[in-house]
Amino acid sequence: QQQVKQSPQSLIVQKGGIPIINCAYENTAFDYFPWYQQFPGKGPALLIAIRPDVSEKKEGRFTISFNKSAKQFSLHIMDSQPGDSATYFCAASMEGGYQKVTFGTGTKLQVIP
């Protein structure tokens, strides 16, 4: 049973555009929501993360928006660049145990010049 639903599956934007990737979760026990970025042939790497006590977090051109009541969160990439072309995974985890992370299915982003 998939606990984190991610959309869209793929996305093509022009350089300078603002791609938006959306995720929704069901388990209200989740309390940490990281995004991972994966370039072709590489492993995923942490990009940015948010806790549910804030509604927005920015790091450079990357912003997470979080809506706790709707159980949704999204990633926005401002002024997107061809170098941002990668697969993005949202994820969710909860405190305790072995740091189990539930990943979304991924969004393949292509930024064209």
Partner 1 sequence: NAGVTQTPKFRVLKTGQSMTLLCAQDMNHEYMYWYRQDPGMGLRLIHYSVGEGTTAKGEVPDGYNVSRLKKQNFLLGLESAAPSQTSVYFCASSYGSTRVQETQYFGPGTRLLVL
Residues that bind partner 1 (CB under 8 A): 6, 9, 31-32, 34, 41-46, 49, 51, 89, 93, 95-101, 103-106
- Min dist. Cβ of residue 14 to partner 1 (A): 26
* 48 close to 66: Cβ distance less than 8 angstroms: no
Short-list 80, 89, 81, 83, CA closest to 108: 89
Closer CB to partner 1, residue 76 or residue 108?
Answer: 108
- Min dist. Cβ of residue 89 to partner 1 (A): 6
* 6 close to 89: Cβ distance less than 8 angstroms: yes
What dihedral do alpha carbons 32, 82, 40, 21 form, nearest 10°? Answer: 30
- Min dist. Cβ of residue 36 to partner 1 (A): 8
**Residues 59, 64, 77, CA angle at the centre, nearest 5°?**
70
Closer CB to partner 1, residue 37 or residue 80?
Answer: 37
Closer CB to partner 1, residue 14 or residue 55?
Answer: 55
